[in-house]
Every structure is written in C-alpha cells, then in structure tokens.
Structure 1
Amino acid sequence: MCGLTMWRWPVRPTVREEEIWSCSWCYAATQVGGEWFEISRPPYLPMEMRRERAVADGLAVGASHAFGTFGKSLCGIQELGMSPSDHWWLPEREAACGACGEAAGVINDRWPQAMRGEDAPVSVARQL
C-alpha cells in the first residue's frame, strides 16, 4: 500500500494459496492469491468505519478498545483470544480508549493520499 514493511499473517495454506499481509506502518491489509490470483486491498474508509471493537475475556469492562492486528488492540493490549467483534469501534464514544484513538489517528494520517480516492486501485487480477 505505502511501500513499507509488510507482515504475513499466520494463516493455514489452502487450495487457493491465499496469503494476507499487513503493513506495520499504515496497517493496510493486502490479500494475495485466491482462485484468480488476485491482489486486493481495502478501500480507504474514515476512522469510524475502519476498526472493529476488540473483544477478549481479560479486557476491562466499560472500556472500548479498537482491534489492531495480530491479537492486539491499537493501544497495544494483548489478551489471549483477543479478536475483532461484529461491531464498529467508534472513537467518538465516551467509553472509547483514548490511546486507541490516538493510534487510529496516526495510522489514518499515514494512509497514502493517492490511495484514498474513489479511483484508487483495490484489486488487480493476474494476467495469464
């Protein structure tokens, strides 16, 4: 996405040989492979539509953390079994973690301007 170091997600190989890579700088995820050997990236979304709320047994009740990647919240909390929920993490809510909000703002600012518009590429299929 932005040309910096990407981390490969630890996913099991499948018949389609899909891989998921995340950027350690702008947190964009890129999927490579699949039936058509496609490279796809998520389109740019505003901060309040990009993060799911983190869920884990060890998280404090009453605080809302944003799920980052690799089992951590954006503010760096790591709990066994942490995962994204089915609900958006909303930074404007009173219970939203301030440190997650600051990290989300920094990450949002890192997203390349050229990749934010409606014409930004999101999918490229391999030419056979």
Structure 2
Amino acid sequence: MECDVCGRAMWRWPALPTVWDEEICSWCHASTHVGGESFAVARPPYLPVEMRWEKAVADGLPLRVSHVFGIFDRTLCGVQQAGMSPSDYGWLPQRGTPVALAGKAAGVIDDRWPQAMRGEDARVSVARRL
C-alpha cells in the first residue's frame, strides 16, 4: 500500500486476518488500518510528537532509560529485541531519561508530515457500506 501522507511504500504489520491489517509507512510512520467487521480503511490523523509515540517495553531494556517504540521490534534509536512491544503508556521526552537519538528521530519523522496533512480531517478514512 502507498502512504497517503508522503507517497512512499508502507510496511505490513501482521495481524489476524479477520480483524485488522495495519500498514505503517517507513518514512513518516503514518499508519493505515484495513479490515474489521465492515471492512473499513481507517487512517488515524496526525498527532504531535508528545502524543504519537509509546514507550518501548522488552526484557533487557534498562528501566531508567525511556526508549520509544518504533516498528518491528525496534526502537526509534535502532535498538532491536525480539518480543519488544509498545507499552500502555505514551513516551514523554520530559519523563525519565530519554535516549537523545529517539528525540531527534521523533522530530525528524514529525517534520516529514506535510503541513497540509496535519489537520484533523486531512486523512480520509473509508467504511464499506453494507
């Protein structure tokens, strides 16, 4: 699938086929969700840096360092561990000891979103009519 924000190819995130498929753009990290009971295409809107990222959790990550979950068992700063997942908590750069590279990467990714795609209604979601 092509990213509706920046036009680049998206990575497929594995999910149960009867539920949702999620595709994530490797460039701007926009996500598109396809599926559900009524087969919809959902495109979550732009969120600012302080609202977009979750804290990464995995065995072996230091507890006092705040890593940002990216995609595919990898943090934004490049740490990769099998079984890594996003926590139930958002990543807040002002809390804990954030990894400097993560903050820079989050800022770079945020800059890749065109201003025109940052409005609440900028991304179009489509629901199949039954």
TM-score, structure 1 as length reference:
0.89
**CA displacement, residues 12-68 of structure 1 (integer Å, 9 cap, x when unaligned):** 322x5x321000100111001222221111111110110010011111231101100
- Contact 2:64–2:96 (CA<8 Å) still a contact in 1? no
**CA displacement, residues 62-108 of structure 1 (integer Å, 9 cap, x when unaligned):** 11011001111111101121111111111233501111111100110
What one-letter code is carried by the residue in structure 2 that aligns with 1:87? Y
- Point out where structure 1 has 5 or more consecutive residues left out of the alignment: none
- 2:66 aligned residue (61, 64, 67): 64
* Match runs of 1:107-122 below 5 Å: 107-122=109-124
| Secondary structure in structure 2 of the residue aligned to 1:22 | strand
1:8 aligns with 2:12: yes
- 2:78 aligned residue (51, 76, 82): 76
- 2:98 aligned residue (88, 91, 96): 96
* Percent of residue pairs identical: 63
Partners of 2:123 and 2:54 in 1: CA distance:
23
Aligned partner of 2:21 in structure 1 is: 19
Cα offset for 1:122?
A: 4.3
Runs of 4+ that moved beyond 6 A: none
| Secondary structure in structure 1 of the residue aligned to 2:65 | coil
What one-letter code is carried by the residue in structure 2 that aligns with 1:67? F
TM-score, structure 2 as length reference:
0.87
Alpha-carbon RMSD across the aligned residues, in angstroms, is 1.6
Aligned partner of 1:54 in structure 2 is: 56
- Contact 2:55–2:68 (CA<8 Å) still a contact in 1? yes
| Secondary structure in structure 2 of the residue aligned to 1:57 | coil
Partners of 1:100 and 1:122 in 2: CA distance:
29
The change in CA–CA distance for 1:55 and 1:94 in structure 2 (over 3 A counts) is: closer
